[in-house]
Structure 1
Amino acid sequence: MKTILNYFFRGMLIILPVTATIYLIYSVLIWMNDLFNNLLFSWFKYEIPGLGIITGFVLITLFGFMMTRTFAKPIVFLFEKLMTKTPFVNIVYSSLKDLTEAFVGDKKKFTKPVYVEFSEPAGMKRFGFITEESLEHYGLKEEVAVYCPHSYNFSGNLYIVPRDKITPIKTDTTNFMRFIVSGGVTKIHS
């Protein structure tokens, strides 16, 4: 019985991550396909598999292209001003915009991997990314902001840490984030 359970768990090690990844990708693609099909092609009586996905990709790419042109900059500026001046909406919009830009925008933030040493419990360290080098506008001259993602979750904590308690780590930031989010299971490749 122990041998059978051993084989079962070895099978699960392969099947679970593969099927969960496939299911997640499949769910997102189906959702995106249905969304764009219902929005744009509900009048069309034939169903073409993947039409919504292709349409969504093309529309988002065209929108991104148009928004980088000079004629669209005032429109973007007015839209962002409206979003940031509207109560409650400004919190959600600003947070999501900043988070998105931290990963894919011109203002990428997760580029300085470090480990932080805590005094309690003695010797405890935590991996994270410096997201802000200067906190002088808060009256904190010798501290930096370090974001420490949680493992197996899309959340984390922001710590304000004295500079002398952080140690930079020279590594690929993508692999470093993968290492943290996986709970230290994924190996960091140089």
Structure 2
Amino acid sequence: MDSTVLLAVSLALLIHNGICQHYFLLRPIPSDSLPLVELKEDPDPIFDPKERDFNETELRSTLGDFDPRFLAVFPPNADGYDANDDFPDAQKPSGILPKEIRAVDFDAHSGKKLRASKKLKRRLQQWLWAYSFCPVVYTWTDLGARFWPRYVRAGSCLNKRSCSVPEGMQCRPSSSTHLAVLRWRCVQRRGGLKCAWIPVQYPIITDCKCSCAS
């Protein structure tokens, strides 16, 4: 039996068995707070920072760490810039083949056992790894004039199709981190409105995994 037929038989048997393809046996825990819901802002311009409030030297000193890969003061999408260009390796599987995929049995069992060759097994493993891989897709998000830096490079999980065979599993957030940004906050006090830049933590997705629906 040639490799093409064996590939078809192997995949057909996997689908026929109705497995919820736990190629990754440890399911990630999606974060309930990601992606962030859109912030509701009071539209009254009285709560907006004025030009004099944007002293970049002072703002950078207040903020501390400024990572230009994830933060930008001015629109970074000009001239066709793609936020994913900074991390090209994150868009394809790399490194050591996951042990869950190495453990998948690709031998066909149809009356008698049809053993896959090492070459075919490797091809099937690479195909499964690429098919179930869940890259983080980055886009620059405009937080608005009441944040500094105004632009944050946020991640999301690609979900154009199911990441499993048979279908049913989806790419979901599995880990996140926080970026420090400054928030313009105004409160009404005696003597009038008091405003200041305050540091806040903005969560972003850093990793996605193929997971069954919760």
Query: What TM-score comes out, normalization by structure 1 length?
Result: 0.22
Higher relative contact order structure (alpha carbons within 8 Å, sequence separation ≥ 6): 2
Taking structure 2 as the reference length, the TM-score comes to: 0.20
Higher Cα Rg: structure 1 or 2?
Answer: 2
Bigger fraction of residues in strand: 2
